Amino acid sequence: MLLHDLLFRLRALMQHPAMESELDDELRFHLERQTDKYVKSGMSEAEAARRARLELGGLDQVKNECRAVRGVSLVESLVQDLHYSARTLLHSPVFTACAVLTLALGIGANTAIFSVINRVLLNPLPYPNSQELLAARQNDSLPNLKDMQRQTHSFASSGGVNIAPADFTGNGEPVRVHAAYVDAGLLATLGVQPMLGRWISAEEDTTGGARNVVLSYRFWRDFLGGDAHALGRAIRLSDKTYTIIGVMPRDFTLPRELADVFVSLWAGYPEDAPDRDVHSMHTYWRLKPGATLPQAQAEIAQADHRLAEDFPDTEKERGTVLMPLHESLVGNVRPALLILFGAVGLVLLIACANFAMLLMARAVTRQRELMIRASLGARSGRLIRQRLTESTLLALVGGATGLLAAKAGTTLLLALKPAELRLDAIPMDARVFVFVFAISLLTGLLFGLLPAWSATRGDIAEALRENARTTSTGVSRNPLRSLLVTAELALALILLAGAGLLIKGFLRLRSVDPGFNPGNVMTMYLQLPGARYPQIPSQTNFRRELLARINSLPGAEAAMITDLPLAGNYVGHRVVVDGQPARAVGTEPEVQTLSVMGNYFGVMQIPLRTGRDFSAMDRAGEPLVAIVNQAFVKQLLPGQNPIGTRIDWARSNEPHQWMTIIGVAGDVKHSGLDQLAEPAVYAPFSQNDERWRRFMTLVIRTRVPVAGLVENVKKQLWSMDSQMPVSDIQSMDDLLAVSVAQQRFNVLLLGSFAVLAVALAGVGIYGMVAYRVNQRTHEIGLYIALGAQHRDVLRLVMKDGVKLGLLGIVLGLAGAIALTRVMVSVLFEVKPTDPATLIGVAMLLAAVTILACYIPARRALKIQPMTALRRE
Amino acid sequence: MPSRSIDLPQGTLDLLILRTLSLEPLHGWAVSERIQQISSDVLRVQQGSLYPALHRLERRGLIKARWGTSENNRKAKFYELTKAGRRELEIEQDAWQKLTAAVSQILETA
Residue range A144-171, pLDDT digits in tens: 999 999 999 999 999 999 988 888 887 7
Chain segment A759-790, per-residue pLDDT in tens = 999 988 888 888 888 878 888 888 888 888 88
Number of domains in chain A: 5
B69, part of any domain: yes
B66, part of any domain: yes
Same domain, A763 and A779: yes
Same domain, A765 and A780: yes
A29 and B60 in contact by Cβ < 8 A? no
A521, part of any domain: no
B51 and A27 in contact by Cβ < 8 A? yes
Please report the pLDDT score of residue B23 as a whole number: 87
Least confident of A302-316, A408-422, A597-611: A408-422
Which of A9, A30, A65 is the closest to B52 by Cβ?
A: A65
B47 and A8 in contact by Cβ < 8 A? no
| Cα dihedral A676, A679, A682, A683 in deg (nearest 10) | -160
Same domain, A669 and A541: yes
> What DSSP string describes A405-474?
HHHHHHHHHHHH--TTS--S-----HHHHHHHHHHHHHHHHHHHHHHHHHIIIIIHHHHHHHHTT---SS
Chain A residues lying within 8 Å of B75, measured CB to CB: 25, 29
Same domain, A88 and A181: no
Residue of chain A whose alpha carbon sits nearest to that of B56: A69
| Residues belonging to chain B | 110
Per cent of chain A over pLDDT 90 is 35
A190 pLDDT exceeds 90? yes
Q: Which residue, among B1, B47, B66, would best test binding to A if mutated, counting the most A CBs under 10 Å from its CB?
A: B47
Enclosing H/E stretch for A166: strand A155-169
Chain B residues lying within 8 Å of A58, measured CB to CB: 48
Please report the pLDDT score of residue B5 as a whole number: 65
Please report the pLDDT score of residue A469 as a whole number: 43
B1, part of any domain: no
Instruction: Give the pLDDT mean for A239-245.
Output: 91
Residue predicted with more confidence, A839 or A531:
A839
Which of A9, A55, A66 is the closest to B51 by Cβ?
A: A66
Beta A608-611 vs A695-702: how paired, if at all? unpaired
Distance, CA of A588 to chain centre: 39
Instruction: Give the pLDDT mean for A744-761.
Output: 90
Q: Is the separation of the CB atoms in A256 and A282 below 8 Å?
A: yes
A524, part of any domain: no
B51 and A9 in contact by Cβ < 8 A? no
What does the alpha-carbon distance between residue A562 and residue A540 come to, in Å, rounded to a whole number?
A: 13
A125 pLDDT exceeds 70? yes
- What average pLDDT does chain A have? 85
Chain segment A635-669, per-residue pLDDT in tens = 999 888 899 999 988 866 667 788 999 999 999 99
B52 and A1 in contact by Cβ < 8 A? no
Give the count of beta carbons closer than 10 Å to the beta carbon of residue A159. 21
Give residue B48's domain range.
6-109
Give residue A624's domain range.
529-723
Q: Which amino acid is at B83?
A: K
A728, part of any domain: no
A590 pLDDT exceeds 90? no
Same domain, A561 and A700: yes
Residue of chain A whose alpha carbon sits nearest to that of B70: A29
A5 and B60 in contact by Cβ < 8 A? yes
Handedness of CA A54, A56, A59, A65 (dihedral sign): positive
Domain C-terminal end among A275, A298, A320:
A320
A108, part of any domain: yes
Same domain, A276 and A264: yes
A370 pLDDT exceeds 80? no
Q: What residues of chain B, 54 to 83, have a C-beta less than 8 Å from chain A?
A: 55-56, 58-61, 70, 72, 74-77
Please report the pLDDT score of residue A21 as a whole number: 83
Buried b (16+ CB within 10 A) or exposed e, A163-181: bbbbbbbeeeebbbbbbbb
Residue of chain B whose alpha carbon sits nearest to that of A66: B52
A325, part of any domain: no
Provide the H-helix boundaries in A238-379: 265-268, 293-310, 312-315, 325-330, 334-365, 367-375
Please report the pLDDT score of residue B1 as a whole number: 42
A523, part of any domain: no
Same domain, A390 and A410: yes
Q: Closest Cα to residue A254, out of A163, A368, A347, A142?
A: A163
Same domain, A169 and A243: yes
What does the alpha-carbon distance between residue A353 and residue A763 come to, in Å, rounded to a whole number?
A: 11
Residue of chain B whose alpha carbon sits nearest to that of A51: B1
Residue of chain B whose alpha carbon sits nearest to that of A38: B1
Please report the pLDDT score of residue A474 as a whole number: 38
Confidence at A351, pLDDT banded by 50, 70, 90 = very high
Same domain, A302 and A439: no
| Residues belonging to chain A | 872
Same domain, A826 and A779: yes
Provide the H-helix boundaries in A511-564: 536-551
Chain B residues lying within 8 Å of A56, measured CB to CB: 47-48
What does the alpha-carbon distance between residue A626 and residue A422 come to, in Å, rounded to a whole number?
A: 39
Chain segment A4-19, per-residue pLDDT in tens = 666 666 666 666 677 7
Q: pTM (2 decimals)? A: 0.71
Confidence at A468, pLDDT banded by 50, 70, 90 = very low
Enclosing H/E stretch for A390: helix A380-416
A472 pLDDT exceeds 60? no
B46, part of any domain: yes
Cα–Cα distance list, A702 to A257, A385, A699, A705, A725 (Å): 33, 72, 10, 8, 22
Which of A26, A56, A62 is the closest to B77 by Cβ?
A: A26
A605 pLDDT exceeds 90? yes
Given a cut of 50, the residues of chain B with pLDDT beneath it are 1-3
Please report the pLDDT score of residue A773 as a whole number: 84
What does the alpha-carbon distance between residue A36 and residue A30 come to, in Å, rounded to a whole number?
A: 10
**CATH label of the domain that carries residue B19:** 1.10.10.10
Give the count of beta carbons closer than 10 Å to the beta carbon of residue A453. 15
ipTM of predicted assembly, 2 dp: 0.89
Same domain, A508 and A464: no
Q: How many CB pairs under 8 A join A and B?
A: 68
Number of domains in chain B: 1
Q: Is B47 on the interface with A (CB under 8 A)?
A: yes
Same domain, A509 and A382: no
Please report the pLDDT score of residue A75 as a whole number: 66
Domain C-terminal end among A261, A292, A320:
A320
Domain C-terminal end among A47, A71, A95:
A71
Chain B residues lying within 8 Å of A72, measured CB to CB: none
